[in-house]
Amino acid sequence: MATLTTNAVSSTAATVVSIDTLGADDTLTFTGSMYLILSNDTGGSLSPVLTGDTATTTDVQGLGIISLTGGSDIFGAIADGTEKMLKLSVIQKYLDGTVTISGGTGLTARLIKV
């Protein structure tokens, strides 16, 4: 298990961005305004899931109590030769605690904090 490198963006200079290759269960810590970019050149389609280890449930108006324990598959399938980017605050309820990324072995990741 490896922790993704957080790349802080500077407003005054170009920023070198680290790229991490995902293993079976890499982690990140969500801290506000962050973007996650996942790229796939594995030769197949992959569907990563992001799961916070302390995310349990949330009450959604009009729907009631929703379980968060299965994580979020908001990225869906990432086809070979493509990449997807997500503003993580969109799924922040799923990202409580230490976040594990599963199902993405071989994807490359860039975690950007703005």
What is the per-residue DSSP string for 60-106? ETTTEEEE-TT-B-TT--B-TT-EEEEEGGGGGGGG-SEEEEES-TT
pLDDT digits (tens, 9 = 90+) for 51-76: 999 999 999 999 999 999 999 999 99
Average pLDDT, the chain: 96
Determine the average pLDDT of the residues in 42-54: 97
pLDDT over threshold 80, residue 46:
yes
Q: Exposed, middle or buried, 90 (CB in 10 Å: 0-12/13-18/19+)?
A: exposed
Q: What is the pTM of this model?
A: 0.94
Determine the average pLDDT of the residues in 90-95: 97
Determine the average pLDDT of the residues in 74-103: 97
Domain boundaries of the chain, sorted by first residue: 6-10+18-113
User: Confidence class of residue 11 from pLDDT cuts 50, 70 and 90?
Assistant: confident
pLDDT over threshold 90, residue 100:
yes
pLDDT over threshold 90, residue 28:
yes
